[in-house]
Amino acid sequence: MTREENFTHIGKPLLRKEDRRLLTGHGRFLDDVVLPGALHVCFVRAPHAHARIAAIDTSAAVDMSGVVGVFTGRDLAEWTTKLRLAPPIEGLQPVEMTTLPVDRVRFYGDPVACVVAEDRYAAEDAAEVVSVEYVALDCVTDTDAALADGAPLVDETLPSNLVSQQSFSSGNPAARRADAHAVVEARFNLHRHTHVPLETRGCAADWDAGRAHLTMHIGTQTPHPLRSQLASRLRLAENQVTVISPDVGGGFGQKIALYREELTVAALSRHLERPVHWREDRLENLTAASHARECHCRTRTAVDPEGRILGLELELMEDFGAYCFYPANYMARVVAMILTGPYRISDYAFEVKVALTNKCGNGPMRAPMAVTSWIMDGTIEAIARQLGLDPLDVRRINALTQDDLPYTMATGEVLEDITPLETLEAAASKIDVAAFRKRQAEARKQGRFLGLGFCSVVESTTYGSAFYKAAGIPGSGHEAAWVRIEPSGAVNASVGLMGTGQGYETPLAQAVAEGLGVPPDLVNVQMGHTDIAPYGMGSRGGRGATAGGGTLYLCARKAQERVLTIAACMLNLNEPTNLRLHDGQVERMLDGRWQCTGVALADVAKRAYLEPTSLPEGISPGLDVSLTYDPPPMTYSNATHACEVEVEIATGRVSIDRYVVTEDCGTVLNPVVVRGQQQGAVAMGLSGALFEQVIYDESGQNLTATLADYLVATACELPDFEIFPMNTPNRRTPAGIKGMSEGGVMGSIGSVALAVSDALAPFGVVVEQLPISPQSLRTALRGKRPETGEKERME
């Protein structure tokens, strides 16, 4: 791939194009889309974790003023096909689901009926009088119960609730364990999260009966794959569906799948031949959209006396909830695949199990592999504790160095152009560990408990098509773009991504500007409309910059070549070799410097569109270039996070005193946007590690159905983040771009958990379960005294 070190537009801290409309109230989000005559829906949801639907009586609802109809799973089963997920992955059970449940509900919040009315108030009122007769069934709300003998089945078509199980071994970890100086065991339990985009889900479906065409307005990260799903589930051809994504108020992985409610709304619009609008309320979003993360992990590590890792074994069990919108091994697989990350570990084995439970189904949430770095660096800390070593030294002795690269991980993943030791040392020096340890010792004497946690991250990003192929997952990781120079010289471009707030419009315009040779503010990047954008794979897995930006950059370069071929003819040159487009002007290299030719992009465009007879031979009219690009199977970014905390022993309150990130995410398209992503990712990780938790009681009732119960960190709980960029370009991607934006979650979960454990070391308390709530810390500390000899003050 081409290497260019000196960029004109890539890497410039330009401010965002989308800000003006968003700041003035002129953003256009889903619920701002008004389709004349639209009907509104409200879903009737199950109040049980597991129950048989004995009968649904809709008569009272149907009689209410403004109600158009009430529809159930049986209606939807006629109008739509089932979702079948059966990729050829060993150990993964094939699953199917109907659009709405027909005879059985599987979690609290499962949609059982849909009321359609003239407005949302009427639909909500009528939903209250739809009477559903349930026969409650036994439920399973954790993985132990789910896998117990005779457990009630979440999915009756499966032999057990163990929906997926894979194991892997490379080298001989068992033998390493037998020979080891010591074997270190550690546990890591990550709780259930949910995404909480500030804008909930929603959609507006518009069936045009005359043209037999569905237009679906929906905030989505993946417009084209969603269109494919919608078409196939509605038995329509793919050219009978248009997906249009307006501005999206956050996605974080929640806005990828085609959910059952959305398909229902689309089917209803077709059935009723009217536009139909749905806006999810927050209760539905918290209880029934998508959950994430809940998993139980254990490592066993064989080490030598210096803490060198000889062999590593991982057991991971994920609680997947009741429905699979993704193959059930989808997220856990990546954790196991990249676990060894920054460290040199050749003997490695894992056993990954995924169980179904009667809870809302899991999906990928910003850093589906979030737990990874906590497990790995927590394992390092456990080694240091057990052997009495300095945990930074244990990291150093195991860290990959530049001499090790490219490094093939035990799982076969190849790491190159990463800097794990460098980010670690940079973070350690920013923190000044010696000074911290001194402060910590002083504070302990006064009964105050400070802690420092480091967490190094190797973040898998981009996911090219070879990754999907190797994983057996349907789908691809390539991307598509077009660049059009219009007759006036204005530049339009498009790509198959769809932003959900990242701020794509500016950095992607910079990628086009760089490739084409025009100022970025002349470039308009259009995304989210499937009739305008080329078929691309959308936004997920840190692929926006490499797949999206990379494809646009390459496409723009191709467009520049075309422009210069025409310009050469206009300048009576045989070849465009010594020409370039710069700032929208054609320049020629003469006497060792670039000189103006007097030909502008607009002149070339005019020639291309309006004077095609004077184009050079073999050049067709117009300036319309498209390109697809398949990035490497994976690109890796890396970082080290360092977090200083103070734990108030009397209350269990954790405050974050300092937060440092040293991050190497390759060539950066726009540092303003990248920094925003880093801050947001760290914030999301910390919020999750300290406050957020989806809680079900043993009967499967969701107890966290409002934002007063599911706590998201506010401005008072989060610190300022000190972020230090270290940019090693990736040698295989256009312009050296790597992905980013999920690693911050991985590093912050790990660093804060390890910092709290460090603070509580005198009490012998190690954090093994998140979230680190005041209650959980008080429980762990109960009856314990610090070993410093100082009396704990406020017990």
Partner 1 sequence: MKETDYKVTLSLIVNGETRNVRVLPQRLLSDVLREDLGLTGTHVGCEHGVCGACTVLVDGAPARSCLTFAVQMEGHEITTVESVARDGELSPLQQALHEEHGLQCGFCTPGIVMTFEAYLKENPTPSTTEIRDVLSGNLCRCTGYQNIVAAILKAAATLREKGVE
Residues at the contact surface with partner 1, assessed by CB under 8 A: 15-16, 18-29, 31-32, 34, 65-66, 120-122, 196-200, 247-250, 252, 281-282, 500-503, 672-673, 675-676, 679-680, 682-684, 706-708, 712, 714-716, 718, 720-721
Query: Considering beta carbons, is residue 250 or 771 the nearer one to ligand FES?
Result: 250
For residue 222, the minimal CB distance to partner 1 (Å) is 17
Query: Considering beta carbons, is residue 577 or 706 the nearer one to ligand FES?
Result: 706
| List of residues 6+ apart from 222 with CB closer than 8 A | 255, 256, 498, 537, 538, 539, 540
Q: 150 touches which of ligand FES, partner 1, none (CB within 5 to 8 A by kind)?
A: none
Query: Considering beta carbons, is residue 34 or 135 the nearer one to partner 1?
Result: 34
CA torsion sign for 550, 556, 560, 566 is: positive
Query: Considering beta carbons, is residue 32 or 795 the nearer one to partner 1?
Result: 32
Query: Considering beta carbons, is residue 197 or 538 the nearer one to partner 1?
Result: 197
Measured CA distances, 343 to 74, 373, 475, 588 (Å): 53, 11, 30, 49
- Which structure tokens are listed for 528? 């989210």
Query: Considering beta carbons, is residue 675 or 732 the nearer one to ligand FES?
Result: 675
Q: 52 touches which of ligand FES, partner 1, none (CB within 5 to 8 A by kind)?
A: none
Phi and psi at 31, nearest 5°, equal -75, -5
For residue 656, the minimal CB distance to ligand FES (Å) is 20
Distance of alpha carbon 627 from its chain centroid, rounded?
Answer: 25
Contact 640, 622 (CB under 8 A): no
Say how far apart CA 88 and CA 524 lie, in whole Å: 41
For residue 720, the minimal CB distance to ligand FES (Å) is 17
Q: 652 touches which of ligand FES, partner 1, none (CB within 5 to 8 A by kind)?
A: none
For residue 217, the minimal CB distance to ligand FES (Å) is 20
Q: How many residues bind ligand FES (CB under 6 A)?
A: 3
For residue 158, the minimal CB distance to partner 1 (Å) is 35
Query: Considering beta carbons, is residue 282 or 430 the nearer one to ligand FES?
Result: 282
For residue 197, the minimal CB distance to ligand FES (Å) is 8
Query: Considering beta carbons, is residue 398 or 687 the nearer one to ligand FES?
Result: 687
CA atoms within 13 Å, Cβ hemisphere of 242? 13
- Which structure tokens are listed for 787? 């070993």
Query: Considering beta carbons, is residue 164 or 677 the nearer one to ligand FES?
Result: 677
Distance of alpha carbon 405 from its chain centroid, rounded?
Answer: 27
Q: 613 touches which of ligand FES, partner 1, none (CB within 5 to 8 A by kind)?
A: none
Q: 715 touches which of ligand FES, partner 1, none (CB within 5 to 8 A by kind)?
A: partner 1
Say how far apart CA 377 and CA 397 lie, in whole Å: 13
Backbone angle region of 454, left / alpha / beta, with phi > 0 → left and psi within -120 to 50 → alpha = beta
For residue 708, the minimal CB distance to partner 1 (Å) is 6
Query: Considering beta carbons, is residue 95 or 643 the nearer one to partner 1?
Result: 643
Query: Considering beta carbons, is residue 628 or 679 the nearer one to ligand FES?
Result: 679
- Which structure tokens are listed for 38? 């639209």
Contact 743, 459 (CB under 8 A): yes
- Number of H helices and E strands in the chain, helices first, is 21, 32
For residue 250, the minimal CB distance to ligand FES (Å) is 5
Q: 199 touches which of ligand FES, partner 1, none (CB within 5 to 8 A by kind)?
A: partner 1
Backbone angle region of 632, left / alpha / beta, with phi > 0 → left and psi within -120 to 50 → alpha = beta
Residues between 181 and 210 that touch ligand FES (CB under 6 A): 198
For residue 109, the minimal CB distance to ligand FES (Å) is 20
Angle 646-652-654 (CA atoms, 0-180°, nearest 5)?
A: 35
Say how far apart CA 735 and CA 554 lie, in whole Å: 9
For residue 21, the minimal CB distance to ligand FES (Å) is 13
Is the preceding peptide bond at 771 cis, omega within 30 degrees of 0?
yes
Q: 252 touches which of partner 1, ligand FES, none (CB within 5 to 8 A by kind)?
A: partner 1
Helix (H, G, I), strand (E, B) or coil at 650: coil
Contact 321, 362 (CB under 8 A): yes
For residue 62, the minimal CB distance to partner 1 (Å) is 15
Q: 502 touches which of partner 1, ligand FES, none (CB within 5 to 8 A by kind)?
A: partner 1
Residues between 314 and 343 that touch ligand FES (CB under 6 A): none
Query: Considering beta carbons, is residue 499 or 517 the nearer one to ligand FES?
Result: 499
Query: Considering beta carbons, is residue 563 or 752 the nearer one to partner 1?
Result: 752
Per the listing, tokens 């209606």 go with 75
For residue 27, the minimal CB distance to partner 1 (Å) is 5
Which of 243, 265, 247, 245 shows the shortest CA–CA distance to 198? 247
For residue 510, the minimal CB distance to ligand FES (Å) is 21
Residues between 227 and 256 that touch ligand FES (CB under 6 A): 250
Query: Considering beta carbons, is residue 198 or 715 the nearer one to ligand FES?
Result: 198
Say how far apart CA 351 and CA 165 lie, in whole Å: 7
State the amino acid at position 507 in one-letter form: P
Largest CA distance in the chain: 92
Query: Considering beta carbons, is residue 198 or 716 the nearer one to ligand FES?
Result: 198
For residue 195, the minimal CB distance to partner 1 (Å) is 8
Beta pairing partners, 242: 215
Say how far apart CA 776 and CA 312 lie, in whole Å: 29
Which of 373, 432, 381, 391 shows the shortest CA–CA distance to 637? 373
Which of 250, 128, 248, 241 shows the shortest CA–CA distance to 198? 250
Contact 400, 343 (CB under 8 A): yes
Say how far apart CA 395 and CA 424 lie, in whole Å: 9
Is the preceding peptide bond at 94 cis, omega within 30 degrees of 0?
no
Q: How far apart are the first and last CA of the chain?
A: 63
Say how far apart CA 290 and CA 171 lie, in whole Å: 37
For residue 281, the minimal CB distance to ligand FES (Å) is 10
For residue 256, the minimal CB distance to partner 1 (Å) is 16
Which of 175, 764, 136, 250 shows the shortest CA–CA distance to 500? 250
Q: Which of 391, 501, 729, 762 binds ligand FES (CB under 6 A)?
A: 501
Say how far apart CA 223 and CA 734 lie, in whole Å: 24
Instruction: Give the Cβ contact number of residue 59 at 10 Å.
Output: 10
Query: Considering beta carbons, is residue 540 or 562 the nearer one to ligand FES?
Result: 540
The contact set with ligand FES (CB under 6 A) reads: 198, 250, 501
